[in-house]
Every structure is written in structure tokens, then in C-alpha cells.
Amino acid sequence: MLKIKSKRELDIMRTAGRLVAQVLSAVAEAAKPGVTLDELDQLAERLTLDAGARPAFKGYMGFRHTLCTSVNEAVVHGVPSARTLKNGDIVGLDYGLQYQGYYGDSAVTVPIGPIPAHAAQLMKATRDSLYAAIELCRPGNSLKDLGRAVEGTVKPFKYGIVKEFVGHGIGQSLHEDPQIPNYEAGATNLKLKAGMTICIEPMINAGTSQVKVLEDRWTAVTVDGALSAHYEHTIAITDNGPEVLTEWDEPGFKKVFDRILH
């Protein structure tokens, strides 16, 4: 069932989204050579609690952490550990929180030290595909339009689009209807309506689209070992167009994005 949010609900979700952006910005800036995934997770949890919010992922279906940390060939749902980040890595940071009963959710992939040009290209194309879909988040457009936008952005690079994991609605639950695939054929003709709040999150692989889940039952990786990138925003559909509730305009994002987008 699709849930249309009231003005009061959207106001709360705006605050939740801003808190998500602030915490994720700090974590992205802290992701440097020599830092462990556990340290990033601990930072995210401390900042979440300090903000008067609750980690969205911790306890969700048994997940024991605040962040998902997906390094290199890991696509999504990577489990924080004592692993130390090193120059040349790329790491997906997926993070959400609950504030006054409503959720916000966002993900970024950031470079660790100098990275190869092909990794930077993958990250930029994936980020561009997210914003191409966001531009079409307007009443009357369909989920197929969003999938087509993602697909059209990454197709020239012959990248693989992950099909097993998709975007979703969000609100009083972390995952609400509808499901939002990142390719046209997998999406429905459902029309967007003002008051909907959704998460778009392209997961794009440098090689095959195929993934497998590791023995930890969480971490999904590319079957060919190729790099993967993941970006996500929480968006409100309004009569005036898309409103990105988790916009990356915090200082930490600028520092990491400047190194891969220019």
C-alpha cells in the first residue's frame, strides 16, 4: 500500500534527512587510509545518538551495526569489521536513522586515498545515474521512467546493473512500497504522486551484474570480483518537483566528491 505523507510527516522527514546527511558527511570525511570499518561504525552510532535519533539498521533483521560498509567488490550490506582501509580502496557507506518515528536513508561510495581512473569513472557514473532518476521524480512520471534514467546513464560504460537489490518507499518503516528497480524492464508503470517519499539507490558494477551473498549472510559481492558503487537518496515527491531530503551539501561530502567528480 502506498503511503502519502502529510505536511507534518514531511516536516519530520526533512529533519530526519538532514540528520542523515550530517552524520554520513562526517563518516565519509573520516574514511581514510588506516581507519577501520569498525571505527566508522562507532562514529556513526555515536553521532546518531548525540542527535537524539536511533540507528535504523541496528537490530534490523538481526543486523548488529549502524553502518553498512561495502569495500571494493562488495556491492551492498557489508558488515563492519576490524578491516583497515588502504589507499586505492573504494567503500560504500550506507546509513539510516529513525527520528520521531520516521526514517531517512542514504548511501555514498567514497575513495580512500588515490584511486584508479576506472574506479573514479564508475563512482561518477553511478552518482550521475542517481541524479538522472531524481530529476524525473515528479507527479505523473512512472517507476519505469526512473529505471530508464539509471539504465541510460550507465549503459554507455557497459556496466552491470544489480537487479537483486532495489530502491524502496520509506516513512514510518525503513522499507515501504513501492519497490524501485534500477532498470526499466524490472519496474512497473506505477505513477508517482505528490506526498510519496522514496529511496532511489543504484548499485552499479564495473563488470557483470551478478552478485552473491557471503557466508556472513549479509555482504553481497560481485561474482567476478569487479568493483561496485552505490549511491542513495531519500526523496519527497512534491507538486514543485523532487525534494532531496538527504542532500549531500555538507562539508565532508564536498571534500570526498571533489576528488572523483572533477
SS3 10: helix
pLDDT of residue 141: 98
Rounded to whole angstroms, how far apart are CA atoms 83 and 68?
Answer: 13
Contacts for 185 with CB less than 8 Å, ≥ 6 apart = 147
72-118 pLDDT per residue, tens: 999 999 999 999 999 999 999 999 999 999 999 999 999 999 999 99
Task: Check: CB of residue 133 under 8 Å from CB of residue 199.
Answer: no
261 burial level (CB within 10 Å; 0-12, 13-18, 19+)? exposed
Average pLDDT along the chain: 97
Radius of gyration of the chain (CA): 17
Neighbours of 119 (CB within 10 A): 20
Mean pLDDT of 132-144: 98
CATH number of 7-261: 3.90.230.10
Q: What is the dihedral of CA 159, 163, 167, 168, to 10 degrees?
A: 170
pLDDT confidence of 1, banded at 50, 70, 90? confident
Contacts for 29 with CB less than 8 Å, ≥ 6 apart = 251, 252, 255, 256
Whether 261 shows a pLDDT value over 70: the answer reads no
- What are the grid coordinates assigned to 178, written together? 513501492
Grid look-up 526533512 returns 14
Residues of the chain with pLDDT > 70, as a percent, come to 99
**Sequence spans of domains, the chain:** 7-261
Residues of the chain with pLDDT > 90, as a percent, come to 95
Mean pLDDT of 24-45: 98
161-213 pLDDT per residue, tens: 999 999 999 999 999 999 999 999 999 999 999 999 999 999 999 999 999 99
pTM, entire model: 0.97
pLDDT of residue 259: 73
Element (H, E) at 109: strand 102-111
Q: Which amino acid is at 248?
A: W
Whether 262 shows a pLDDT value over 70: the answer reads no
Q: Which of 46-50, 155-159, 255-259 has the lowest mean pLDDT?
A: 255-259
